[in-house]
Structure 1
Amino acid sequence: MTTTTSHTPESEQPAEGGPVTRPSRLIHTESTTEIPVHLLFRDGPDPAPVPLRPAVVARRQGTGEQPRLRRPVPDRSGTLPRVDPDLVERPARVLPGVVGVLAGVCGAAGCVATAWWTGALPPLAAGAAGLPPAPGTAGTGPAQWAAYAGAGALALFGFGGLARGRTGRAWVLGLFGRYRGTVRRTGLLWVNPLLLRRRVDVRLRHWRSEPMPAADRGGMALRVVVTVVWRVRDTARATLGVEDHETYLRQCVEAALLRLPVEAPGAGQATMDAVCEALTRQVASDTAPVGLEVFAVRPVRVEYAPEVAAAMHRRRIAALDARHRASVLSSVVDSVEDTVTRLTVRGLVELDDYERKALVKDLTVAFCAGRGEPMP
């Protein structure tokens, strides 16, 4: 049920016998809304709570388009990208080197036998090889070319796949862009010559950096030289997970120095050990996803940046001078007090306040002059 109340001013009433005209709207966008009657006579003390609706991003007027809800955006700040979890080091399939040698020798012998068969082998070479004279000139036909190709391919595969594995070295094998395994074995091996080999050093390595920018707890600019003890733990991720794992390690060390405060020159050994431990944890956590294992990151030289080195040197000299003056003044005051106390306690002199002050002044000047220090 709805009620519609309208009031038309006298000036807008239609004239008798004239056409009915609708008054013009003062606001072009005004609209009429029907109000239920029971809401007009409601006398409740507190209005009913209005349910909240989700936030609306945008709505086009007059198009009937439904509102679009705002989707929450996940916060990914402070998280490192993960390397492919399937990219994990696994041993590659290789054969002993003897197999490659035998295959190469058989291929070479097949080439010699085919040349003897076609009559292309000279008699002297055939006699040196222990072969009887050729029965005749057979010529080079399809069968001979097939024998040449098979024997040559066998020789190439046999000798081309030979490799020597060394301690502390590894090969990362790949075929057409896919990871095929890692070879950590030593000695003479045979590896498929079609596979791409990438040599990786898996020994314990020691790297000394160039001066890197850093800051202390007060924000003062520093230059720090660090040594990093590390090694490649997962060759697959270190080689295929990043473009250059050594460059990645250097950038992680630079980021850790900028993120963590480093103690200024002259700090104690315990403080430097705490800084070393914090740097090691930070760099190890950053490089673990790419297969690197970091054992220690230790600052070996800490100095102020060139733009603040002169000012900090003057400040340090002033602090040392003030400390020295304070120690000298303390010793002079102790000596004067001891001298005046002994003179008065033993009864050698009787002094009033004025004479005591004069004696203290004279003794202070004498002791400072004897130490070669100016009066403070």
Structure 2
Amino acid sequence: MKEKMAKKFNGFVLIVLLVICAGLGVYGMEADIPALGIPFMVLAALLVIGALTGITVVQPNQSVVITFFGRYMGTIRESGLWAVIPFSHRQKVSLRVRNFNSATLKVNDVDGNPIEISAVVVFKVVNPTKAVFDVDSYMEFVEIQSETALRHVASRYPYDNFEEVGFSLRANSDEIAQELAVELQARLSLSGVEVLEARLTHLAYSTEIASVMLQRQQASAILSARQKIVEGAVGMVEMAIRQLSEDGIVELDEERKAAMVNNLMVAIVSERGASPVINAGSLY
């Protein structure tokens, strides 16, 4: 369906003509002038029928789609009081921005892990003609297609990327939201709807695996922390030995270097504070 502007004229003009014709008709009947009273009374009656069946009020950010006995007559977008063809069907369509909160869906991510996910979609109708004629109910169409697109996007990515390669639902929420909005726009363009924004509002592992995946996340965090500690400890030991050698504080052979490296690594990497043993020298 291609949108076209409906033929209309100011509704206040129709009301003023109705009042004038009714007044002249009443005056003619009371003055016993049938040639004046009867035509204006008939015209006033016709204007009343036209006003009752053809006047419509259009609010700001609202449109009215007009059909006449099954034929599309056009769309009104300008706000105000308008008079259109009598006995026409006038369907109002809001052009305001709306939110749709999807239900919490249970889907499998790309790794097969069951997750719970939901999203909010911000949209508005930009083509009321398509919204009325190309789909049965554009609100229901938005709801179903939003949940379908959310399931499709969620199934293409892992919940969490432990290898830190590629996107994940948890770590790349902005990229996932952008892809969801693009896919939604492709699906909803048929209904004359424009997607303004799509964001994830809930993301979690399903209850049956939540505890196990939490342990996996904790283990991954511990391993990552240990790796950082070891890398820092090696750098500190290397710097200490090099500084001792450059300043000539002490000459260390390979055996003593190995012992110092061992002691420093234990002291730095250990989870508990090291207890130093002071060597006061030998009696002999």
Q: TM-score, normalised by structure 2?
A: 0.72
Question: What is the percent sequence identity of the aligned residues?
Answer: 24
Answering whether residue 1 of structure 2 is matched by residue 100 of structure 1, we say no
Answering whether residue 148 of structure 2 is matched by residue 255 of structure 1, we say yes
Q: Deviations over 1:124-147 (max 9, x none)?
A: xxxxxxx56x79xxxxxxxx9999
Structure-2 separation of matches of 1:370 and 1:279 = 44
Shift in Å, 1:191? 2.5
**Which residue is equivalent to 1:323?**
224
Shift in Å, 1:94? 1.6
Residues paired across the two proteins, number: 263
**Which residue is equivalent to 1:90?**
4
> What letter is aligned with 2:75?
T
| Structure with more helix by fraction | 2
**Which residue is equivalent to 1:291?**
192
Structure-2 separation of matches of 1:179 and 1:265 = 51
**More relative contact order, 1 or 2 (CA 8 Å, 6+ apart):** 2
Answering whether residue 241 of structure 2 is matched by residue 348 of structure 1, we say no
Answering whether residue 214 of structure 2 is matched by residue 313 of structure 1, we say yes
Question: For residues 112 and 363 of structure 1, do their structure 2 counterparts lie closer, same or farther at Cα, with a shift above 3 Å needed?
Answer: same
**Which residue is equivalent to 2:116?**
223
Structure-2 separation of matches of 1:241 and 1:194 = 23
Question: For residues 185 and 347 of structure 1, do their structure 2 counterparts lie closer, same or farther at Cα, with a shift above 3 Å needed?
Answer: closer
> What letter is aligned with 2:65?
V
Q: TM-score, normalised by structure 1?
A: 0.57
| Structure with more strand by fraction | 2
Structure-2 separation of matches of 1:268 and 1:287 = 23
Structure 1 segment 1-376 matched on structure 2, within 5 A: 87-106=1-20, 108-109=22-23, 112=26, 117=29, 151-158=44-51, 160-260=53-153, 261-262=156-157, 264=159, 271-299=172-200, 301-340=202-241, 346=248, 348=250, 350-351=252-253, 353=255, 356-369=257-270, 372=273
Question: For residues 147 and 371 of structure 1, do their structure 2 counterparts lie closer, same or farther at Cα, with a shift above 3 Å needed?
Answer: same
Structure-1 separation of matches of 2:209 and 2:169 = 22
Question: For residues 99 and 228 of structure 1, do their structure 2 counterparts lie closer, same or farther at Cα, with a shift above 3 Å needed?
Answer: same
Structure-2 separation of matches of 1:236 and 1:341 = 78
Question: For residues 164 and 265 of structure 1, do their structure 2 counterparts lie closer, same or farther at Cα, with a shift above 3 Å needed?
Answer: farther
**Aligned-partner SS, 1:231:** strand
Max Rg structure: 1
- The answer as to whether partners of 1:105 and 1:155 remain within 8 angstroms in 2 is no
**Which residue is equivalent to 2:164?**
none
**Which residue is equivalent to 1:62?**
none
